[in-house]
Chain A
Amino acid sequence: MANWTEIAKLEDIPKLGARVLKMDSVDIALFRTATDEVFAIKDQCPHKQGPLSQGIVHGSSVTCPLHNWKIDLASGEALGPDEGCVNTYEVKVENGNVYLALSADDVAVA
């Protein structure tokens, strides 16, 4: 069951930027695009675990800061000839608030 948890206000995340939500089991990166779409993916590049939240955001993808892989934010898939995939999480924005669908295991906050 999706358990919608309020994480942040939209304006807490910079446009074309990201914020990190640190959880016990995982760090989740929340990205905001130029058109105010929000995506949530695991903050770990499928290449060598680079922190994707620190990359440059363009369109609906992010370029990893360590070796420039491009990751599609919606699917979590590496773009171009690179192959790899990172977990994505369901996220929604309502009235300027950002909600994440977390399972019970995730919620234990770090």
Chain B
Amino acid sequence: MKEKLVLIGNGMAGVRTLEELLKITPDHYDITVFGAEPYGNYNRIMLSPLLAGEKTVDDIMLNGEQWYIDNGITLHKGKTVTQIDRVNRKVIADDGTTAHYDRLLLATGSNPFVIPVPGKDKVGVIAFRDIQDVYNMLTAARDYKKAVVIGGGLLGLEAANGLMKQGMDVTVVHLLDSLMERQLDKVASALLKASLEERGMQFLMEAATQEIIGNGRVQGVRFKDGSEIKADLVVMGVGIVPNTALAQDAGLHCERGIVVDDVMQTFDPRIYAVGECAQHRGIAYGLVAPLFEQGKVAANQLAKLGYAHYKGSVTSTKLKVTGIDLFSAGEFNQAEGDEVIVLQDAAAGTYKKLVIRDDCVKGAVLYGDTIDGTWYFQLMREGTSIADFRKTILFGQHDLGDAGHGDETRVMALSDEAEICGCNGVCKGDIIQAISREGLFTLDDVRAYTKASSSCGSCTGLVEALLASTVGEGYDASPNKKPMCKCTEYSHDEVIAAIKENELKTIPVVRDFLNWETPDGCAACRPALNYYLLAYWPGEYQDDAQSRFINERAHGNIQKDGTYSVIPRIFGGETSAEQLMSLGRIAKKWKVPTVKFTGGQRIDMLGLKKDELPGIWGDLADAGFVSGHAYGKALRTVKTCVGSEWCRFGTQDSTALGIKLEEMTWGSWMPHKYKLAVSGCPRNCAEATIKDFGVVCVDSGYELHVGGNGGIKVRVTDFLCKVETEEEVMEYVGAFSQLYREEAHYLERTAPWLERVSLSYIKERIVEDEDGRKALYERFKYSQQFAQTDPWKARAEGVEAHEFTPLQIQG
């Protein structure tokens, strides 16, 4: 017998919880859902665009009735539960329908707050909460002209905007002197008011409603000061109250909402609550992002996994009025001792304000240009120190070295045909359509459905911006912690810590210890775990070939036709006539289809069949070459210029230093590709300032630069420090490489890693802490003992022969 789960409330939080539950255990429960509204599950957020005529009811459905059928869920729509019988564990609806439960989930949402003034029950006075309310407003808009919206908050303004779009003459009545005072400071509020007025919205500020007047149908509103205004329709958009009546009658402990603990359990352990009706650590949320987080936790508990906990959410808001860009998060009104950075451009109509405390973002208000809202929000949630880029923070994230995209980040201004994802050819219109049609909320969803941002990831910021502006803050930009992949709840940092602290030494042990949700992981977590284990337990951990991406498993780059490329190492880019002749001879012997100089000062032989690889590798090994690791998350190249040996400007022997560095670092596995360069003077012909580690020689020594990137997002290095001898250069390179190896997330290149942990942190570890630096350098050298074996030679001699030989039919 399956256990019985009953859900009361067919809204966004409840059904999201079911979706999460079905993902984990599709068969654990017999599920019954009661919903007071006569529909499947729809996207309540989208009621605003529905009212404004920008969407249809079909557009905003998340799960139609077929979804319930497909998942074997009994749906009682249009039935309101009126009683919970906790003794007999059953619920009873208004029409007498009953259902028994082993577990009960309450997701009854909120009721609109109706101000208790005389006349509030007159015909034509409505709230803005569900589809029926929108229908009522649309009907009124057809027959009448004058609307009054009470409440100048998010809900009120979205209602007012929609009614205006429907041709009504709208006045917003607000009790205070500034709009959206819970989300905006006075300046932003005034900007917003001005631009809404420009569109024709009227305002009555500091007006306290005393009575709604009319005979039967509403005819007007009277205020405390005695003045009156005409109205054929009054919309109450002043706020919401968690819907707790049912729970209260059942004797569950309620305060403002139904009180739940960190596993979303009410005081009756069989009963859980999520969504707007629940109160967690004193807070009842009114936005979907936190509700979705709650849903995940509740699902995890209902599935009896029992390890997810909800710790509360930080929220942000956007106003969904087309053409108005507004973003707000955190404490936007400064307290004593806070610092404020403001950028205001009256002509462009933009205003940005950040509240800073102890070098961290505490709050943000953006008006007119909200593209960086998600970034500020992330900095805020993660408590990142902004000391290093404080001067430019208001210019936005693309100013942080993103020369690649720059202005294109004004994504909302782009036309629907504009290509967002260059790798997969996905246009803006496709993405927006998929988001609304499929009801997508997360970056992962968009990646799965459209492929946008699923390849090189350079358009991730653009896709996130589209998500944020299409679904409002229902889009959860950056969960407090990002799980490593879909197989686990744990983040990279948590996995790394667990591996270190608990001395976990094989992939299955890590998965067991951390309760992985899939038996053998996936193509995302396996390579990451393999790397972490290799990095932490050098010499002990046995590399797992099947957990490596094909390029690393086959020690060559797979090409689009399934052939491979071979790039031997040419230390420091310096070669010789002997070497070139050997390469020429070998290329000729194997009839290499294409021979090409790479952008990394070496030679690429392209188009070899997989079973030919060990053969050509053997020849290369005999001629003294080792693998160039052009295929690996590993040390790639050390680019050099000619330097003082020949160049008339050279200050140091950059070529020889580059060779020494490559001899020290080759073979090391890294979180991502890793490139070095040494230039002989500040003219910098080796392009050292866009490498992961760059050395620029000067007369008095060596300038060390870190965190550069020349690829997708060009980022110039940060200056780390200056040293005087080659020995010091070696030590700093070794120490920095090891710090990166030990602490960065898999597939995080030095540039984003450095931006995440901050330059100051790296300086603290590498420049200021001499003992620490030396220890890191020692650990690097120790692990290199095991890493510097040539994988090509080994395979030419027969290691993993099965990888390179096809099967034959026996006999």
Chain A contacts to B: CB under 8 angstroms: 5-8, 12-17, 19-22, 27, 30, 33-34, 48-51, 54-59, 63, 65-68, 70, 80-81, 107, 109
Instruction: Determine how close the nearest CB of chain B comes to the CB of A7; give it in whole angstroms.
Output: 6
CB 8 Å contact bits of B510-548 with A (1 = contact, 0 = none) = 000000001111110011000000000000000001110
Instruction: Determine how close the nearest CB of chain A comes to the CB of B670; give it in whole angstroms.
Output: 19
Given A19-B802, A66-B558, A80-B448, verify A58-B808 contact (CB < 8 Å): no
Check A63 against B550 for contact (C-beta < 8 Å): no
Closest B residue by C-beta to A100? B809
Chain A CB count within 10 A is highest, among B519, B547, B807, B808, for B807
Closest B residue by C-beta to A13? B802
Check B560 against A48 for contact (C-beta < 8 Å): yes
Given A6-B811, A14-B802, A56-B526, verify A66-B560 contact (CB < 8 Å): yes
Top 3 closest A-B pairs, CB basis? A63-B523, A56-B523, A16-B546
| Separation of A8 and B808 alpha carbons in the complex (Å) | 8
| A6 contacts across to B, CB distance below 8 A | 809-811
Show 8 residue pairs from A and B whose CB-CB distance is below 8 angstroms, ordered by the A residue: A5-B809, A19-B806, A21-B809, A51-B562, A58-B522, A65-B549, A66-B558, A81-B449
Given A54-B558, A59-B519, verify A21-B454 contact (CB < 8 Å): no
Check A20 against B806 for contact (C-beta < 8 Å): yes
| B550 contacts across to A, CB distance below 8 A | 54-56, 65
Check B519 against A67 for contact (C-beta < 8 Å): no
Interface range on chain B: under 10, 10 to 19, 20 to 34, or 35 or more?
20 to 34
Check A63 against B522 for contact (C-beta < 8 Å): yes
Check B810 against A7 for contact (C-beta < 8 Å): yes
| A59 contacts across to B, CB distance below 8 A | 518-520
| Separation of A58 and B449 alpha carbons in the complex (Å) | 21
Given A20-B806, A58-B518, verify A81-B554 contact (CB < 8 Å): no
Q: Residue B455 at the A interface, CB < 8 A?
A: yes
Chain B contacts to A: CB under 8 angstroms: 448-449, 454-455, 518-523, 526-527, 545-547, 549-550, 553-554, 558, 560, 562, 802, 806-811
Closest B residue by C-beta to A15? B546
Check A30 against B807 for contact (C-beta < 8 Å): yes
Check A58 against B802 for contact (C-beta < 8 Å): no
Q: Within the complex, which residue of A8, A49, A55, A65 is in contact with B807, where a contact is CB–CB below 8 Å?
A: A8
Check A16 against B522 for contact (C-beta < 8 Å): no
Check B810 against A12 for contact (C-beta < 8 Å): no
| Separation of A70 and B549 alpha carbons in the complex (Å) | 14
| Separation of A15 and B553 alpha carbons in the complex (Å) | 14
| B454 contacts across to A, CB distance below 8 A | 68
Instruction: Determine how close the nearest CB of chain B comes to the CB of A43; give it in whole angstroms.
Output: 9
Check A56 against B547 for contact (C-beta < 8 Å): yes
Given A55-B523, A58-B521, A59-B518, 10 further pairs, Cβ under 8 A: A6-B809, A14-B546, A21-B809, A22-B807, A34-B519, A54-B562, A56-B526, A63-B522, A66-B560, A67-B455
Q: Within the complex, which residue of B518, B546, B554 is in contact with A56, where a contact is CB–CB below 8 Å?
A: B546
Check A81 against B522 for contact (C-beta < 8 Å): no
Q: Within the complex, which residue of A34, A54, A81, A107 is in contact with B448, where a contact is CB–CB below 8 Å?
A: A81
Closest B residue by C-beta to A110? B806
Check A7 against B809 for contact (C-beta < 8 Å): yes
Check B809 against A14 for contact (C-beta < 8 Å): no
| Separation of A20 and B558 alpha carbons in the complex (Å) | 16
| Separation of A68 and B527 alpha carbons in the complex (Å) | 14
| Separation of A48 and B806 alpha carbons in the complex (Å) | 22
